[in-house]
Amino acid sequence: MTAPKQRFAVCIKSGSYEASLEPRKIYRVLDDPAAEAKSLLRVIDDSGEDYLYPVDLFVPIRVPASVMPLFATEMSGSR
């Protein structure tokens, strides 16, 4: 069984979530098709927990495969 593909998004604005989100910071995105159908994105925020936020606060990004191991390690180390 293959590991699920990791997804990331950059926060473009914190909206009313200033305590949890930081603009220009990259966040790990968790799959949640039901939430995404309602224009929400499940991300691991600055608290280290996953929460739903409006999708318009983020832009999805692709992390190149060649740096994904380093990128994923750095992201998990900060959580």
pLDDT (tens digit, 9 = 90+) per residue, 8-59? 999 999 999 998 999 999 999 999 999 999 999 999 987 889 999 999 999 9
In a domain, 62, yes or no: yes
In a domain, 12, yes or no: yes
**Band of pLDDT at residue 63, cut at 50, 70 and 90:** confident
43 Cβ contact partners less than 8 Å away, ≥ 6 residues apart? 9, 27, 28, 29, 30, 50, 51, 53, 58
At 11, which helix (H) or strand (E)?
strand 7-11
Q: How many CB atoms lie within 10 A of CB 70?
A: 10
CATH, residue 32: 2.30.30
In a domain, 1, yes or no: no
Question: Which residue's entry shows tokens 């380093």?
Answer: 70
User: For residue 47, how many C-alpha atoms fall within 13 Å in the half-sphere facing its CB?
Assistant: 9
Global pTM reads 0.80
In a domain, 18, yes or no: yes
Domain extent for 36: 7-77
**Band of pLDDT at residue 76, cut at 50, 70 and 90:** very low
What is the structure's pLDDT at 10? 96
In a domain, 2, yes or no: no
Q: Report the distance separating Cα 8 and Cα 29, nearest Å.
A: 5
How many domains does the structure of the chain reveal?
A: 1
In a domain, 43, yes or no: yes
